[in-house]
Structure 1
Amino acid sequence: MKVQILARKLITPSSPTPLNLQKLKISCLDQNFPSNYYTSCIFYYPASGEEDCVNTAEKSKQLQKSLSEILTLYYPLGGRYVKGSVFIDCNDNGAEYLEAKASGCLSEFLKEGELETELRNHLAPPLFQPEESPLLIVQFNMFECGGLAIGISVTHKIVDGFTLFTFVDSWATACRIGIDRVHSPSFQLSSFCPPKDMSSIKTFSPRSKRDNTIVEKRIVFNSAALSSLKAAAHVNVNNSGSLKYEPSRVQVVTAFIWRALIKASQARYGCLCPSYLTHLVDMRRRTALPIPGNMCGNFGTMSIAQFIPGDDSTVQLHDVVNRIHEGMSSTFSECAKASNGDDIISIVTNEMLMMKEIFETTEIDVYLFNSWSRFPIYEADFGWERPEWVSSVYAPMEGILLLDSNDGDGIEAWVRLKENTMLHFQQMLEIKY
């Protein structure tokens, strides 16, 4: 499998950004993210017939035209980050658009699962870009069979998971039925959470620690597996009380993986080790602030759960689910109390300072989780039906990403661990709940 870049161009907004919008102040939450780190995903569209081989060029033209149109609404993505500042220069320099040719047939690779490995990294722009790079980079990959893969990389400086998939959904709508059917997003997060001195937590950036020994495994939980996990989570072998709530899909999958990681650590070191788990939480609609539902930018915080070994060496799924649920409930409660920007800043700063302290304690295992579940990742219909699959891009950093399966009922977990940790982790996946 080879992927060859055929062309590069800049796609500028179809109409210029008004003068009053050309200098976008980022929020204090955006300040936490490095400007050279991008978040990426790939949308896969197998060919539906021989005509697709002929229409790929036309589809690329449609994408470019609609991208130009959607950049008038998502105008910061056509600009550039001003290095060392708290501003995006919305100068209409444009997003980068790459056309690429991929050998082979996409449907065969999807069927065989080979896209889980090296190939995926060639279908999307790299996660780490020079600071002066475009904030949005699109790679349009044409397979010999007529299948398509659209890789999208966008700066994490002003884009979180919600913003990424809201943008893609809006772009797809513009391409399929027109820009006039797209709801305008909001980029005024800094009016609620203005930039400020964040030097106390600036040195905490675990996501930027790259390690070439990181390996990846994809675990698929279908609806039956999720039902089994939920049933198992209600079983408490110590008879100290069953769950008084129904755990979510994300909670039981997170608990299953965390429990396996705890047991893997026990296998490596000969004893149960303390560990922390963090889960990114979207704060939209969870605060008392009048923040629009279409607010773009980084607007999340971390939920933290802790495992401290006790007398029970079995590490029950029931107990692990409870720890995750309590951590999330505590975070949701704090968010609900937030009535102004200072409250939001306090929540995020306290969580970041806690994580900074935890990361500096080398004898404690820390596992970073993120979830794209319930985002509209499979709504990206550009006019040739919804994608058959959506994937992340391999990143040389430890962490676990959860996203919905293509039927909407299951969850895919992308687990990235150091190679020696992964060996023990895989052995623990078969243990009883």
Structure 2
Amino acid sequence: MKVEILSRKLIKPATPTPPHLQSLKISSIDQLAPPTYVTFILYYHANGDENDGKRKGLQKSLSEILTLYYPLAGRYIKDDQLVDCNDEGVEYLEAQVSGQLAQLLQEEHVKVEVLNHLAPYVMPSASTPLALVQVNMFECGGLAIGLLISHTMIDGIAMTTFLNAWATTCQAAGINKVIHPRFDLASFFPPREINIDAVNPKKTKAIIITRRFMFNGEAISTLKEAMTKHQPSRVVVVTAFIWKALIAVAQARHGHLSRRPSFLCHSLNLRRRTTLPISDNSFGNLYMVANARFGGEDIDQSKVELNELVVSLQDSIRNTLADYMKPQNGDDLVCMISNSLREMHEERERGEIDVFMFTSWCRFPLYEADFGWGKPIWFSCRARPMELISLNDTKDGDGIEAWVSLNETDMLLFQNHPEIKAFTSQI
């Protein structure tokens, strides 16, 4: 499929941002976020005869919602650790796709390389927009809406909130039914001196391959039934299952007699999980990480059991959640997050342990974003430039799509692992 960009413009807030709101300090958790853009792509069946009017509605409602989410129309000034809310605008692109949406969605034809072209690419700089939208029109009238927002401004939950607020504005012909965001996280977590290189992994020179592996509800139920003492969540059992396969990949790479330990870093939502009086509609990054370890000299890693990895992961998550309820101030919380990220980074730098990074968007209301064509028929990511495993819901809510990004050698071993082949459909 060929994707041709037809137009490109900047969408500004419908009402100018007042002078007293034109400078927004980012929080110290925002500072810890990787310098990337978070990407969502949503797919819709649509009536081609009505597309022209509804596409105009997308632009108008985006302009209106930006009056509430005005920092997204600004520009980030890194040296000052603030957003200049100057209303320069969100970049908005329209593109024509040479093909049918149904063709793209057929499981055997979906290729991540095709999806990469359904959202804009950015080269971050002082003038780069903090948010970009690409509306892709298929020959059948179907649409795919690609949304990128700088991770400095947003985490997955905040981005989902913005997406649904935009959809509600488009449907309700205004912002009256939208809950207003609060930009107050810097008051809880003021920006501080942070050695970003010590908490964010360096870019690898290896070629990274992204593939989607789908665990349907039946496969997940089968995995959970194998648990003898524990009843893990969908996310925990799928994470542990993938971890088990990644340990086998590492053994194959280092030699089957290797007893290298492995280290799993999993991001967790911090909302409602601290003693701080943070509003549910506070906008920005608000997450923590749980670090789990497995293996070493005293463990025969040729006999890794799924149960053992589930227990290790569950213990890590439970202990992390308990620890984050203890601090009474933002500085202590940020120190905990920073230390967890630094631990992961240092282990990776030493090279004596295999480090795997996971994130989950499961239970995020991504399939609720109705702009007027009904709810999305699918939600996807696209290829990532770093090694990471991202978990998303399937549309029925029972299954999980694992978007796995690994170097090309490890990906070949991973996708051919017998248990991965047995429990997933691969794309």
Same fold by TM-score, threshold 0.5 exceeded?
yes
1:412–1:211 Cα change, 3 Å? farther
1:286–1:429 Cα change, 3 Å? farther
User: What whole-Å deviation, never above 9, does each CA across 1:102-122 have from its counterpart, x for those lacking one?
Assistant: 111011110144333211111
- What is residue 305 of structure 1 aligned with on the other side? 292
Matching of residue 342 in structure 1 with residue 334 in structure 2: no
- What is residue 256 of structure 2 aligned with on the other side? 270
Contact 2:274 2:325 in 1 (8 A): yes
- What is residue 225 of structure 2 aligned with on the other side? 231
1:257 to 242, 259, 267: 242
Matching of residue 198 in structure 1 with residue 184 in structure 2: no
Tell me the amino acid that sits aligned with residue 41 of structure 2. I
Q: How far apart are residue 353 of structure 1 and its match?
A: 2.2
User: What whole-Å deviation, never above 9, does each CA across 1:8-63 have from its counterpart, x for those lacking one?
Assistant: 1111111111222111010011112355x21111001134xxxx222222121000
- Matched residues, number: 417
Q: How far apart are residue 428 of structure 1 and its match?
A: 2.4
- What is residue 239 of structure 1 aligned with on the other side? none
- What is residue 238 of structure 1 aligned with on the other side? none
Contact 2:344 2:355 in 1 (8 A): no
Contact 2:263 2:356 in 1 (8 A): yes
Tell me the amino acid that sits aligned with residue 399 of structure 1. L
1:190–1:378 Cα change, 3 Å? same
- What is residue 267 of structure 2 aligned with on the other side? 280
Structure 1 gap segments, 5+ residues each: 236-241
1:329 to 318, 326, 335: 318
- With 79-88 and 135-144 compared, the bigger mean Cα shift is at 79-88
Q: How far apart are residue 212 of structure 1 and its match?
A: 5.4
Matches within 5 A, 1:71-110: 71-110=66-105
1:126 to 121, 130, 135: 121
Contact 1:282 1:300 in 2 (8 A): yes
- With 4-13 and 308-317 compared, the bigger mean Cα shift is at 308-317
Structure-1-length-normalised TM-score: 0.93
- What is residue 309 of structure 2 aligned with on the other side? 320
Contact 1:46 1:107 in 2 (8 A): no
Contact 1:262 1:273 in 2 (8 A): no
> 1-side partners of 2:225 and 2:308: how far apart?
13
1:290–1:249 Cα change, 3 Å? same
- What is residue 157 of structure 1 aligned with on the other side? 152
User: What whole-Å deviation, never above 9, does each CA across 1:220-268 have from its counterpart, x for those lacking one?
Assistant: 1111111111111x23xxxxxx23xx21111000000000111121223
Matching of residue 62 in structure 1 with residue 57 in structure 2: yes
- What is residue 45 of structure 1 aligned with on the other side? 44
Aligned to 1:407, what secondary structure does the other structure show? coil
- What is residue 181 of structure 2 aligned with on the other side? 185
- What is residue 8 of structure 1 aligned with on the other side? 8
Aligned to 2:243, what secondary structure does the other structure show? helix
Structure 2 gap segments, 5+ residues each: none
Structure-2-length-normalised TM-score: 0.94
1:304–1:413 Cα change, 3 Å? same
Contact 1:127 1:153 in 2 (8 A): no
Aligned to 1:360, what secondary structure does the other structure show? helix
Matching of residue 217 in structure 1 with residue 206 in structure 2: no
Q: How far apart are residue 189 of structure 1 and its match?
A: 0.3
> 2-side partners of 1:213 and 1:346: how far apart?
33
> 2-side partners of 1:89 and 1:311: how far apart?
53
> 2-side partners of 1:116 and 1:292: how far apart?
39
Tell me the amino acid that sits aligned with residue 233 of structure 2. S
Tell me the amino acid that sits aligned with residue 314 of structure 1. K
